[in-house]
Structure 1
Amino acid sequence: MIDPVDRLRARAAELDALWARLDADEASVLSDRADATADDEHDPEGSTLSGEWQRIDALRRSVLDERAEVAAALARVEAGTYGTCVVCGNAIAPGRLEARPMATTCIDCAA
């Protein structure tokens, strides 16, 4: 069984790397959109630059949301409250934390 805190730290690093890749992708798309000769809106073979930018933007928002969840879980680790349900105060089952290390509630309260 992998320690949930180690999984949180690893996931934070993965999300940070993904964020950096998405930044580079966004910069590339914005550069292409600024090119007056880039007329992809009429290309039936591929996605448009606007569509690609929207996809990247949606991925960035998803990464940002998950990164905030991971940061909050790591803050709970530092505060000594990690693994305690924020609703009822009981311990969150180890299996739940293994499956979802960012969990803030026990199974009963999540239902």
Structure 2
Amino acid sequence: MPTQTKLTAADLRHFEKLLRGHRHELDVALGRIGTTLDDVIEARNSGTADDEHDPEGPNLTMEWSRISGVHSDLEAASGAIDRALARITDGGYGSCTRRGEPIGRERLEARPAAELCIDCARELESQHRA
């Protein structure tokens, strides 16, 4: 396993730029999905659409459920980015929030909002599967 080094100021600027780019993409996606969700909710509430008898596709309840799930996932990703940006500001970025060990540049490149080192992430994942 490679030795982990403390992130430099240039590293932090790089990850902040990366996170802000991801945040912008999420904001755009949230705007789009929010509009779609509003349209489905309005159609469900208006009663003008045949919610249960459309043989061509999913009914409005199924569509609402799918879209609201995507919306929740996007909001969760947005919150993770906000927390990562806060850690950059407070000096905690790049350290595992569970053990305090360095997360590692490769992991941060792959998942810039990562809060856990790979060992902690794997440990928690195996606990969730059990």
Does the pair score TM above 0.5? yes
Query: Any unmatched runs of 5+ in structure 1?
Result: none
Where do residues 5-24 of structure 1 align in structure 2 (5 Å cutoff)? 5-24=16-35
1:55 to 66, 89, 95: 66
1:77 aligns with 2:88: yes
Aligned-residue offset at 1:55: 0.9
Where do residues 70-109 of structure 1 align in structure 2 (5 Å cutoff)? 70-109=81-120
Query: Any unmatched runs of 5+ in structure 2?
Result: 1-13, 123-130
Q: Aligned in 2, Cα 1:35/1:107: closer, same or farther, shift over 3 Å?
A: closer
Aligned-residue offset at 1:29: 1.1
Aligned-residue offset at 1:6: 1.6
Please give the alpha-carbon distance, in whole angstroms, between the structure 1 residues aligned to 2:48 and 2:115: 50
1:46 aligns with 2:72: no
Please give the alpha-carbon distance, in whole angstroms, between the structure 1 residues aligned to 2:114 and 2:66: 27
Identical positions, percent: 41
Q: State the partner residue of 1:34.
A: 45
**Runs ≥4 residues deviating over 6 A:** none
Provide the aligned C-alpha RMSD in A: 1.6
Q: State the partner residue of 2:4.
A: none
Deviations 1:45-68 (A, max 9, x none): 111111111111101111111111
Aligned-residue offset at 1:89: 2.3
Aligned-residue offset at 1:103: 1.4
Please give the alpha-carbon distance, in whole angstroms, between the structure 2 residues aligned to 1:105 and 1:75: 15
